[in-house]
Amino acid sequence: MNRLTLLAVGLCFGMVACVSDTFDREAIDLELFKTVANASPTNDVAYFVLPESHQLTDLPQDPRNPLTAKKVELGSFLFYETGMGIVPENSEGMQSYSCSSCHVPAADFKPGRRQGIGEGGFGFGYKGESRVKHSAYAEEQMDVQGIRPLNVLNVAYAAENTLWNGSFGSGGANVGTEDAWGVIEEATELNHLGYQGLETQNIEGLSIHRLKMTPELAVELNYKHYFDAVFPDVPEEERYSNVTTSLAISAYLRTLTTYRAPFQEYLRGNMDALTEEQKRGAITFFTDANCTSCHSSPAFNATKFFAIGVHDLDNLVSFKEGPELAKKNLGRAGFTGRDEDLYKFKVPTLYNLQRTPFYFHGSSKNSIEDVVEYFDQAIPENPAVPMEQIATEFRPLNLTDQQKSNLVAFLKFGLQDMHVEKYMPSALPSGNCYPNADPLSRQEIGCE
Ligand code: HEC
Ligand code: HEC
């Protein structure tokens, strides 16, 4: 409210005359600030302001994994550490892949391709787009999943329950699902540890992706003193493990906010950070299109689950994941076993959509224009999803062509932080090549 008053004062009251384009520009700012405030549960634009990555106390965190600068630093190395790839399915892949094989900074922490490839991939390209199947691998040996990787930017705002089906995490939406833990998905047994989704999932994620930390490896890769400084209270025999590695990686991931996106700079007071078209798009986003009815957190993600009837990945790609795949296509029901959860998927962040043109859990749309068209028409594309499952908020919007193109401009440019590659360390303590270290990637990344 304060900001609104300030703006109103600056608008005309203190001026001798209002030049007409100045007037228009400020009127639209006034309208947008009011709109943003109205869309927040606190009636305050500050709700949508994301902390800078070093403002640790302002970031959402797991009380059992408090953020510290040293922990974040350790995690910032381990997320890229190819040296942890010591449990490959095929010895060809030994120490050649990392978490970041599928979450590539230059691709906005997605794989740069329709489907991510961890172990079993070969090559990198510029942002992961030309990683292909390694010829020494059988399809069944590859680390691929039958669903598109989620963006880990802004994950702190949807960390209570992670994955498209929200299966990890003991709290949040998973309160009341205890009977399902460890039942349909064995790994969700880990929810009993009592961590939030992010911390829980990454313990399992390390072994799923064939990565491992051990006391010997911590020494070999030069991480021992980092673990000692970050986890002095953890008994030595547990200090260099997948659990502490998960805690450090999770801390790092929580700091990956898109606070330099133009919309963020605008909310912080730079009225020129958005173009007029983007401002009008933002107004449509919060009002007529009401995107925040589902994308409701400060980062426009949420630990809420809806069916909007998009295609699954298996219709579109060649790598298969076996029985896991069919379960993933069921959405949240693949975890809870409840009919009412069928085909419902987690609400992903809307920041940094631009640099990897694969949208929805099945990568079924290739442009932001197509996504906006899909929401405007609200006709489910996947015949396997019964109409009664489709969210009531998913209904025709009847936007004008002008509104749609403004909305696209806001999503594409207003919500795009072009500085996220800064989150990648400039070297690893191990000296290893990253995020991949297979022979072709090494060349493409410039490691030799
Ligand atoms: C083979 C590619 C691949 C690799 C390697 C990989 N991921 Fe992922 N990641 C995915 C996919 C696919 C999903 C979505 C899976 C799902 O929801 O079922 C995902 C989801 C996530 C999420 C969930 C985000 C959210 O909003 O719920 C996090 C966090 C994450 N990955 C972190 C990691 C970490 C940490 C590592 C290394 C231990 C890692 N990933 C390695 C493909 C990969
Ligand atoms: C009914 C709740 C709901 C509403 C309303 C809604 N969304 Fe979504 N949105 C979702 C869900 C759930 C997903 C993930 C669906 C999936 O992949 O199965 C999603 C996915 C997306 C994606 C893809 C992101 C990615 O990482 O693939 C974009 C972009 C998007 N929404 C934009 C919008 C815009 C723009 C609006 C307003 C016009 C909007 N959404 C309204 C629930 C909603």
pLDDT in tens, 312-352: 987 545 555 555 667 889 999 999 999 999 999 999 999 99
Q: Which residues contact 272 (CB under 8 A, 6 or more apart)?
A: none
Distance between Cα 71 and ligand 2 center (Å): 33
- Burial of residue 421 (CB within 10 Å: 0-12, 13-18, 19+) is exposed
Question: How high is the mean pLDDT of the chain?
Answer: 93
Atom number of ligand 2 nearest to Cα 307: 12
pLDDT level of residue 12 (50, 70, 90 thresholds): very low
Q: Give, for ligand 2, the residue of 311, 364, 375 to mutate: max count of ligand atoms closer than 8 Å to Cβ.
A: 375
Does the pTM surpass 0.85? The reply is: yes
What is the tens place of the pLDDT at every residue in 371-390? 999 999 999 999 999 999 99
Q: What is the pLDDT of residue 407?
A: 98
Q: What is the pLDDT of residue 320?
A: 57
Domain identity same for 366 and 438: no
Q: Give, for ligand 1, the residue of 145, 313, 360, 434 to mutate: max count of ligand atoms closer than 8 Å to Cβ.
A: 145
Q: Give, for ligand 2, the residue of 291, 342, 353, 379 to mutate: max count of ligand atoms closer than 8 Å to Cβ.
A: 291
Domain identity same for 309 and 173: no
Domain identity same for 253 and 308: no
Domain identity same for 34 and 77: no
% the chain with pLDDT above 90? 88
Q: What is the pLDDT of residue 146?
A: 86
Tally of structural domains, the chain = 2
pLDDT level of residue 14 (50, 70, 90 thresholds): very low
What is the tens place of the pLDDT at every residue in 15-47? 333 445 555 668 999 999 999 999 999 999 999
Q: What is the pLDDT of residue 319?
A: 59
Alpha-carbon distances, residue 71 vs 206, 214, 227, 231, 235 (angstroms): 17, 18, 8, 9, 17
**Nearest CA residue ID for atom 42, ligand 1:** 149
Atom number of ligand 1 nearest to Cα 97: 5
Q: What is the pLDDT of residue 2?
A: 42
Q: What is the pLDDT of residue 15?
A: 38
Q: Which ligand sits closest to the CA of 109?
A: 1
Pocket of ligand 2, beta carbon within 6 A: 151, 289, 291, 293-295, 306, 308, 310, 345, 347-348, 350, 353, 359-361, 371-372, 375, 391, 393-394, 411
Domain identity same for 97 and 202: yes
| Residue 34, domain CATH | 1.10.760.10
Q: String of b and e for 232-247 (b: at least 16 CB within 10 Å)? A: eebeeeebbbbbbbbb
Give dist(CA 218, CA 227) in Å, integer.
8
Q: What is the pLDDT of residue 246?
A: 98
Q: What is the pLDDT of residue 391?
A: 98
Give dist(CA 73, CA 77) in Å, integer.
7
pLDDT level of residue 140 (50, 70, 90 thresholds): confident
Higher per-residue confidence, 1 vs 265: 265
**Nearest CA residue ID for atom 37, ligand 1:** 99
Mean per-residue pLDDT for 172-177? 97
Domain identity same for 73 and 190: yes
Atom number of ligand 1 nearest to Cα 145: 12
Domain identity same for 282 and 311: yes
Question: Which structural domain, as residue segments, surrounds residue 100?
Answer: 56-257+420-445
Q: What is the pLDDT of residue 314?
A: 72
Distance between Cα 221 and ligand 1 center (Å): 23
Lowest mean pLDDT among 8-12, 75-79, 202-206, 309-313: 8-12
Please check whether residue 271 is in contact with residue 10, taking contact to mean a CB–CB distance below 8 angstroms.
no
% the chain with pLDDT above 70? 92
Domain identity same for 430 and 389: no
Lowest mean pLDDT among 111-115, 203-207, 438-442: 111-115
146 lines ligand 1 (CB under 6 A): no
Domain identity same for 248 and 265: no
Atom number of ligand 2 nearest to Cα 151: 26
Domain identity same for 251 and 268: no
Domain identity same for 407 and 348: yes
Domain identity same for 224 and 317: no
Q: Which residues contact 369 (CB under 8 A, 6 or more apart)?
A: 404, 408
